[in-house]
Amino acid sequence: MSVLVYAETEAGKLKKVAFEVASYGKAVADQMGTEVIAVTFNAADANALGNYGVSKVMNISADGNFDAKIYASGIQQAASVAAAKVVVVSSSADSRYLTPLLAVGLDAGYATNVVAAPSNLAPFTVKRTAFTNKAFTQTEISSEVKIIGVSNNAFGLEENATACTVEDFAPSLAASTITVESVDKATDKVTIADAEVVVSGGRGLKGPENWHLIEDLADTLGAATACSKPVSDMGWRPHSEHVGQTGKPVASNLYIAIGVSGAIQHLAGINSSKVKVVINNDPEAPFFKAADYGIVGDAFEVVPQLIEKLKAFKAQA
């Protein structure tokens, strides 16, 4: 018996979500009185998982690009070898892509967007978000093998130094039936999914030519940039930056909204962020009801000041 965590890598290095799923896996394993085993693909630094409670890593060498079917098959074979009763995955785009396949393969019930360790093991009960962050549900999983998709940045990192061994694992993997033709990804930018801080702009910025304000503030904070739905619908910014109910969810530590009024669909998408700041010249904007901190003022005056003061603050720190 074990808890298996799928620890994701990017270019051979473990991602932050890998340590978050390991931390979650350790909490579940402690409740169950068992150990945490991790499965990784092409991880050069797999040992680091030992800092978060993992006692064994099964590292798979796979050529080529990410392929959901092949990765799901590798994880499924690892789960079988590890006799996993619980499999923990992240909420990254790739994990959400492959895990439904894994769930069918393992005949496992799968709960996504889980925000806390199980409240009960029998029946196995977890708390998850639903209605795009407007509510939580208590969900019971009744299958023998259970899969938990941990919501980004919900459980956090919990260090737990553990003696960790890394083994090569060579499952039998089929040939890919999907060919990656091109990848369009800014490698120098923080993604919304990984970001600790997200800076978001709305219609109040008046046009795409003013986006340097958002970008400069984001650069100062090491943040990802995002936008509201009207901004992406008008083509000021790419769809990939649209956050909200029909866009991307945001679960950052800090979310700064500039010139965003705060439509209910937008607020739903960013509700999992821990601290919300709004800068808007309309004191009646609904965002002020959802925010922790707010400035009523003109973004074109407030944001340049904020950038300047933050630079001074960072220089001091």
Partner 1 sequence: MKILVCISHVPDTTSKINFVENDTKFDTNGVQYIINPNDEFGLTRAMWLKEKSGATVDVINVGGAETESTLRKALAIGADKAIRINTEAVDATQVAKEIVAVIQNDAYDLIIAGRESIDYNGGMVPGMIAAMLGASYVNNCVGLEIDGDKATAAREIDGGKETVSTSLPLVIGGQKGLVEESDLKIPNMRGIMMARKKPLEVVEPNGATALSTTTKFEKPAPKGEVKLVDADNVDQLIDLLHNEAKVI
Which range binds partner 1 by CB under 8 A, 23-31, 38-46, 88-96, 200-208? 88-96
Told to check if 311 binds partner 1 by CB under 8 A, we report no
Q: How far is the CB of 100 from partner 1 (least distance, A)?
A: 3
158: exposed, middle or buried (Cβ count in 10 Å: 0-12, 13-18, 19+): middle
Half-sphere exposure of 296 (CA within 13 A, CB side): 7
Q: How far is the CB of 66 from partner 1 (least distance, A)?
A: 8
Helix axes 299-316, 212-221, angle to 10 degrees: 20
Told to check if 156 binds partner 1 by CB under 8 A, we report no
Told to check if 242 binds partner 1 by CB under 8 A, we report yes
Q: How far is the CB of 34 from partner 1 (least distance, A)?
A: 21
For the chain, the farthest-separated pair of C-alpha atoms sits apart, in whole angstroms, at: 60
Told to check if 282 binds partner 1 by CB under 8 A, we report no
Told to check if 237 binds partner 1 by CB under 8 A, we report no
Q: Which is nearer to partner 1, 134 or 212 (CB)?
A: 134
Told to check if 62 binds partner 1 by CB under 8 A, we report no
Sign of the dihedral defined by the CA atoms of residues 91, 96, 98, 104, in that order? positive
Q: Which is nearer to partner 1, 96 or 203 (CB)?
A: 96
Q: Which helix (H) or strand (E) holds 212?
A: helix 212-221
Among positions 110, 155, 169, 211, the unique one binding partner 1 when judged by CB under 8 A: 110
Please answer whether residues 85 and 3 qualify as being in contact, where contact means their C-beta atoms are separated by less than 8 angstroms.
yes
Under rule CB under 8 A, which residues in 3-32 are in contact with partner 1?
none
Please answer whether residues 108 and 25 qualify as being in contact, where contact means their C-beta atoms are separated by less than 8 angstroms.
no
Told to check if 257 binds partner 1 by CB under 8 A, we report no
Which range binds partner 1 by CB under 8 A, 22-30, 39-47, 53-61, 99-107? 99-107
Please answer whether residues 115 and 155 qualify as being in contact, where contact means their C-beta atoms are separated by less than 8 angstroms.
yes
Q: How far is the CB of 27 from partner 1 (least distance, A)?
A: 20
Among positions 21, 94, 214, 227, the unique one binding partner 1 when judged by CB under 8 A: 94
- The pairing of beta strand 120-121 with beta strand 124-130: antiparallel
Told to check if 177 binds partner 1 by CB under 8 A, we report yes
- The pairing of beta strand 254-258 with beta strand 275-280: parallel
